[in-house]
């Protein structure tokens, strides 16, 4: 969900990466990866995965939620994304995880026993 949505937004917005020197940051539909900064696909996918894991197994997933944060920071440090690219991608990942959890009715073992 996060990957497909993120790719569609990337192609539609055409946001230049921070490393690209241009007057216009939002360029409309572009095929070049130099204009696919918004949103960060790495952050969207990792957020969706680790938030879904968190919903399924809180004890395992909670400490692993730091991984998408570190990925987002690294994407900004290397100059591939702006903060807004990473923030939107994290939100997209969380929404995707919520949809997946709802769709597959992910439950912890404890809640399955009590039902």
- At 22 the pLDDT is 66
Note the pLDDT tens digit of each residue in 28-61. Answer: 666 667 677 788 889 999 999 999 999 988 999 9
Note whether 36 and 10 are within 8 A (CB). yes
Residues of the chain above pLDDT 70, percent: 80
Among the listed residues 83, 78, 79, 92, the one whose alpha carbon sits nearest the alpha carbon of residue 41: 92
| pLDDT tens digits along 88-109 | 999 999 999 999 888 877 555 5
The pLDDT of residue 112 is above 80? no
């Amino acid at each position: 969900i996060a990957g497909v949505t993120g790719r569609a937004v990337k192609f539609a917005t055409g946001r230049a990466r921070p490393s690209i020197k241009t007057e216009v940051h939002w360029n409309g539909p572009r095929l070049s990866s130099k204009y696919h900064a918004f949103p960060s696909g790495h952050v969207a996918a990792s957020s969706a995965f680790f938030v879904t894991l968190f919903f399924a197994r809180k004890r395992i997933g909670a400490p692993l939620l730091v991984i998408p944060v570190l990925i987002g920071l690294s994407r900004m440090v290397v100059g591939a994304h702006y903060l807004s690219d990473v923030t939107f991608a994290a939100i997209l990942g969380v929404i995707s995880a919520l949809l997946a959890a709802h769709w597959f009715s992910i439950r912890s073992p404890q809640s399955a026993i009590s039902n």
